[in-house]
Each structure stands twice: as C-alpha cells, then as structure tokens.
Structure 1
Amino acid sequence: MNKPTTKSDLTRAQIIEGALRALSKTGVIGTTTRKIAAEAGVRLATLHYHFDSKSALLVAVLEKLIEQIAERMHQDRVAEDADMDQCIEQLLRGSWRAIAQTKAIQIVHYELTLYALREGIQWLAERQYEAYLRLYRDRLAVANRGSNQLSAAACTALARFILAGIDGLILQELAKPSAERSRRGIDALVTAAQAYARQLAQ
C-alpha cells in the first residue's frame, strides 16, 4: 500500500478516510460533501480543492476499498505449493474471514455499485467489479499450473463463479445474519468451486 508522503497527499488520505467513516454511518445517498468534510476534520473548501465532485471522491473511496481488500488477501496468502483445490479453499475461507470483520464496509460496496448505476456512471460499477474479479483471478493463478492447468478464459470463469457465490453469501448475511449458516454456505461454495475447476480443466 502506498503511504502518503506530502502534506497534500496526507490531506487527501484524511478526506478519503473521513468519507469512508461518513459512508459507513449514513450511506451514499445520505452522505454530503459537507458531512465528509466534518468527519475528516477539514474545511469544505479544502475538500473541494482535492475533489471537484462527489463522484470523484467516491472513485477515490472505491480505490481505497479495493486496496484494503487486496492487502488483506495478501496477508492471507495462498501457499506456493498449493494445488487448485487447496487454493480455492484458502481463497474462499480467507476472503470470508476478512468480510465478516467489515460488514459496514460491505454495505458501502453495494451502495457504491447502486449509486453508480442510478447516476449513469456505469464505468464506476464496472471498475469495481473488474477490480474484485482481478483479485480473485490473480490468487487462482498461483495454483494454475501442471497437467490440469486452466486456460486464461477458464481461470476468469472460475473467478467469476467464486465472486458471484461470495456476493450472494454477503447479501444473505447482511439481510439475516447467521454465522453458522454462512459457514455452511462457504463449505458448499468451496466444494462447488472445486468441482467447477475440474470441469473447466477438461
């Protein structure tokens, strides 16, 4: 993760962190730039100097969220000698551990997607989705070797399948929390993803 070095970078990072806190409290629609400035401890003029619109700030927030997810996934790295089955299991269980600790942020993720679609900024929703897809695909690449190696297209298809499954479990957990049900869901998703990987390798 790149750390801010200049005063301008530090202020920008401060605003983004303030935006994350504000979004977690009041959601995308209810969060104004004035509320973000207050949460960040900066003047409104300072916020607008660094970000000329709410959309520009939301892009920066999205990039921060993706960076945080990538960092968590890096900390829970897949063993270099893991086969595809092991990689899938480690990836899913590690991802779910990180997700379970950041429920408020998960809501912000979905709100950002819906906001982008409602406001006609489709590229922001696409950018968010592609970034998460790339994170999963890159992790799967660690185990994508040997006689049953997947093609690039198959590896992407497997990453899409895993991402779709994780998204469904997150929404279910947010709507009606149950750690035990989610654990069983992850178990089932691991098994299904492993079977799909074998199918794609044929």
Structure 2
Amino acid sequence: MKTTMSKSEITRAQIIQGALQALEKTGVLGTTTRKIAAEANVQLATLHYHFESKSALLVAVLEAMIDEIAERLREDRAGKEPDLDERIEILVRGTWRSIMQSRTRQIVQYELTLYALREGAQWLADQQYEAYLRLYRDQLTSKSGKTELSSQNYILLARFILAGIDGLILQELVKPNRSRSTHAIETLIYTSKQLAHKLAREA
C-alpha cells in the first residue's frame, strides 16, 4: 500500500531530480545550486531549506540513484525465493540492465567519486561505495533466513561483483561494445558463482 507523499517530500524529490538533470547536463564542477534550483523549478531559498549544502544534496542524489536500482532488483525477485546462484544472476543482470539505460548517469557517478576525492570529501566517496556494497550484500543474502555463506563471505562476494561491474562500466563508457559487455557480464556471473561455491565449501 503506497503512502501519500507530503508537500515537503514532493519538493525534496523534485529538487533531487532537478539536481540529477543538472549534473547530467553540466557535470559536477559545472553544476551550482542555482542551476539545480532552475532545473527543479524551485526558488534557491527553497533548495537551501531542504538541503543545507551542495554536498548534502549530492548525497541525496547518490541515494536516489541507488534506490532506483534497488527497486528494480526487488521487482526482479518479487514472489521468488531464489537460491544463491539465481540471486547472483538477478543481481548482476538486473544491475547491468539498470546501468546501461543511461550513459550520462554513469558518468555522473564517476564524477561524483572524483569530485569527492579531489575536494577532500573522502566521506562522500566512502558513503557512495559502502551504499553500493550494502545493496549488493543485501541482494545476495537469502530473505528466507537460509545462510549459505557467513556474513563476512557475503561481503567478500559482494565486493568481487561490485569490482567486476565497475570495471565493465568503465570499459563500456570508454569503448562501447554491447556484445562484448554482454559476454563479459555472463563471465562475471559464472566466476561469481564459482567464488560463492568455494566460499560455501570453506564455511
């Protein structure tokens, strides 16, 4: 059952969407809060009421992008209780499908990481990475309570998949080739399953 959003929540979501649109158009360095306000069709004062700084807004943008992927993955698993191999497939294919829907959005993601590192906002880069790691770990963990791996090994598997996805995104951004990337995704799924089986045997 969906709850009705308050006016404040609607405005906040509108600002986040405006920020994402501005970032896709002009990049992180070229995006000011004034441009974001214009893109979101709100007053600058309204933006600052909801977000005390540009960094706070960038965090909200990252969270929104991750939530979008998480929602699609939940839809892929709806009504199912897949085993670990199937969860790996759902996670990798579903994430890649979401990623490939917008090239400019992926560029924004990497710009946000580099911006955070260059501007001394290590916490923002850490938060971005840890948010994706939690998403991957949660998607790999069984919802039925069945434990195929230890908590530490679920995280290890999540890190492995995240590193593989990141590498494939960069490769696709620099030199697009969907056929090559599709083959690479299937290879990542296979190797991730092999790692999961090895970790399960060692438990």
Same fold (TM over 0.5): yes
Q: Map of 1:116-195 to 2, 5 A cutoff?
A: 116-142=116-142, 145=146, 149-195=148-194
1:14 to partner: Cα distance: 1.2
1:199 match? 198
1:76 to partner: Cα distance: 1.4
Q: 1:21 to 1:130 in 2, by over 3 A?
A: same
1:90 to partner: Cα distance: 2.2
Q: Judge which range, 134-143 or 161-170, deviates more.
A: 134-143
Distance 2:9 2:138 in 1: 29
The answer (yes or no) to whether the contact 1:78–1:139 under 8 Å persists in 2 is: no
The residue identity in structure 2 corresponding to 1:47 is L
Unaligned runs of 5+ in 2: none
**TM-score normalised by structure 2 residue count:** 0.90
1:165 to partner: Cα distance: 0.2
Distance 1:4 1:37 in 2: 24
The residue identity in structure 2 corresponding to 1:183 is T
Distance 1:132 1:97 in 2: 16
Q: 1:128 to 1:3 in 2, by over 3 A?
A: farther
Distance 1:107 1:9 in 2: 27
Aligned residues: 199
2:8 match? 8
Identity rate, percent: 62
3-state SS of the aligned residue for 2:96? helix
Q: 1:36 to 1:170 in 2, by over 3 A?
A: same
The answer (yes or no) to whether the contact 2:73–2:90 under 8 Å persists in 1 is: no
1:81 to partner: Cα distance: 4.1
CA offsets 1:43-90 (integer angstroms, 9 cap, x no match):
222222222221121111112112112111111117744322222122
3-state SS of the aligned residue for 2:42? coil
Q: Judge which range, 43-52 or 97-106, deviates more.
A: 43-52
Q: 1:40 to 1:85 in 2, by over 3 A?
A: same
2:67 match? 67
The answer (yes or no) to whether the contact 1:17–1:40 under 8 Å persists in 2 is: yes
Q: 1:3 to 1:27 in 2, by over 3 A?
A: farther
3-state SS of the aligned residue for 1:52? coil
**TM-score normalised by structure 1 residue count:** 0.90
Unaligned runs of 5+ in 1: none
User: What RMSD, in angstroms, separates the aligned Cα atoms of the two structures?
Assistant: 2.0
1:166 to partner: Cα distance: 0.4
CA offsets 1:88-124 (integer angstroms, 9 cap, x no match):
1222112111111122211111111111111111111
Distance 2:62 2:182 in 1: 27
The residue identity in structure 2 corresponding to 1:182 is S
